[in-house]
Structure 1
Amino acid sequence: MVGGRRAIGVLGGTFDPPHIGHVGIAHRVRSALGLDEVLFVVAHDPWQKSGSRTVTAAPHRLAMVEAAVSGEEGLRCCPLEIERGGPSYTVDTLEELRRLEPAAILVLIVGADAAAQLDTWHRPEDLPGLARLAVVDRPGMPPAAAPPAWDVVHVEGLPEDISSSTVRRRVAAGEPVGQLVPDGVLRYIVEHGLYAEGSP
């Protein structure tokens, strides 16, 4: 609760796959800002990554996020963008969450790189009126700049530098990733043969 109102963090992403860094950051921001929960919003069609590579099918990514947050207090998987279909625009998601939780404070959680690019997002002028902004800064680096219209709070990130691309690359090379992803995510990757060399 913040000022007697529910406070909800919104952490959007492709989550291909979700890793321990995602979970750790969500817990850190939730604790630092006193959020009631953090929603992991799984992108259906991450339009900014269109054409860069083939993204794993949405049902797989949703299932992995569900596995990643299972048993994690205050963290919840949110399927809104997948259920909506089409390009995944943050502004649409925030508007939908505002309709579902009209009295809540929404806090959009982004990394330092994304914070600097918010003006390139879909309908950027509407975003600051829908949510506050929590920027996760790199440890030891100056706070990242964000467009001036936002109500911004900065949270220092984790020292570990983990990326989904590293996990995918290690799986394809047959290298262990058990220290990089939650146990449930690892089981899902193995059971479904995701990211292995030659897999669809």
Structure 2
Amino acid sequence: MSESTRPLAILGGTFDPVHVAHLAVAWEASELLDAEVRLMPASVPPHRPPPVADATTRVALLRAALRGQDRLGLDTRELARGGPSYTIDTLAQLRAESGTRPLVLLLGADAFAGLPGWHRWHGLFELAHIGVLSRPGSAATWPAELTREIASRHATDPRLLHNAPAGMVVALEVTPLEISASRIRELLQCGRDPRWLLPPGIRDEAGLLDAYRAIL
């Protein structure tokens, strides 16, 4: 498959810090979609509190976590752009760079349910597909406005997203891991070691975790 037809998927977030659940979800989505997946740290997320760590620290953690990955990469364009990280602006930039290559925005089910509150949310479907990350066997209900928007966009097979640059919505069942960045920060503040919650690359990078702990 050429790079022009292999989807590029984006997983956004503050990654404050990045943890194994982020990587697990990204990896499974990559396999389900047969896609390149990029983790994209937000500068100023419009719908959640700002990150504790600065951009330089979060990027250093992400680079360490992603070292040696062949399916997952890093995209720092929202940090470089600064200001509120509106997804519509990011996807417009990616679309201009990618031509007709399929783009996929990866969203958790809760984030997807809140899509009608996003900046220019209807335009997202013109720029990318949306992969909704869900638990196996879960049944979701969406707001009426969102249900109407996606009524004709459902794709039953992730492989169908290879056939068009944007416009479809597909459910991606991924393994749930109950890990949160806030819990990791709590453990670090208490002087505990969240050893099996963080990617090995972070633990192996001398001083990186100590530098993050010092920020808290």
Q: TM-score, normalised by structure 2?
A: 0.82
Which structure 2 segments of 5+ residues have no match?
Answer: 151-167
Amino acid at match of 2:39: F
Answer yes or no: is the 8 Å Cα contact 1:6–1:103 preserved in 2.
no
Q: Which residue of 2 aligns with 1:73?
A: 70
**Any idea what SS the aligned residue of 2:197 has?**
coil
Which residue number corresponds to residue 156 of structure 2? Answer: none
- Deviation of residue 131 (structure 1)? 0.6
Spell out, residue by residue over 1:4-39, the C-alpha distance to the aligned partner (whole angstroms, 9 max, x if none): 61310110110000111111111101101111x101
d(CA) in 2 for partners of 1:78 and 1:53? 19
Q: Choose from 111, 116, 130 the match for 2:113.
A: 116
Structure 1 residue identity aligned to 2:110 = D
Q: Distance in 1 between matches of 2:197 and 2:3?
A: 36
* Sequence identity (%): 36
Cα distance, 1:2 vs structure 2:
8.6
Higher helix share: 2
Q: Residue 6 of structure 1 aligns with which residue?
A: 6
Size of the aligned set, in residue pairs, is: 194
- Max radius of gyration: which structure? 2
- Cα RMSD for the two superposed structures: 2.1
TM-score, scaled to structure 1: 0.88
The answer to whether the 8 A contact 1:81-1:93 is kept is: yes
Aligned-pair CA distance for 1:141: 2.0
1:1-200 map, 5 Å? 1=1, 5-35=5-35, 37-49=36-48, 52=49, 55-143=52-140, 145=142, 147-148=146-147, 149-150=149-150, 151-186=168-203, 187=205, 189-192=208-211, 194-195=212-213, 199=215
Q: Distance in 2 between matches of 1:5 and 1:138?
A: 28
- Answer yes or no: is the 8 Å Cα contact 2:44–2:50 preserved in 1: no
Residues 102-127 of structure 1, C-alpha deviation per residue, up to 9 Å, x if partnerless?
12100000101101001111111211
SS of match in other structure, 1:44: coil
8 A contact 2:184–2:194 mirrored in 1: yes
Moved over 4 A (4+): 1-4
**How far off its partner does 1:138 sit?**
2.4
Deviation at 1:140, TM superposition (A): 3.9
Q: Is the 8 A contact 1:109 1:136 kept in 2?
A: yes
Q: C-alpha distance in 2, partners of 1:141/1:179?
A: 27
Shift of 1:184: 2.1
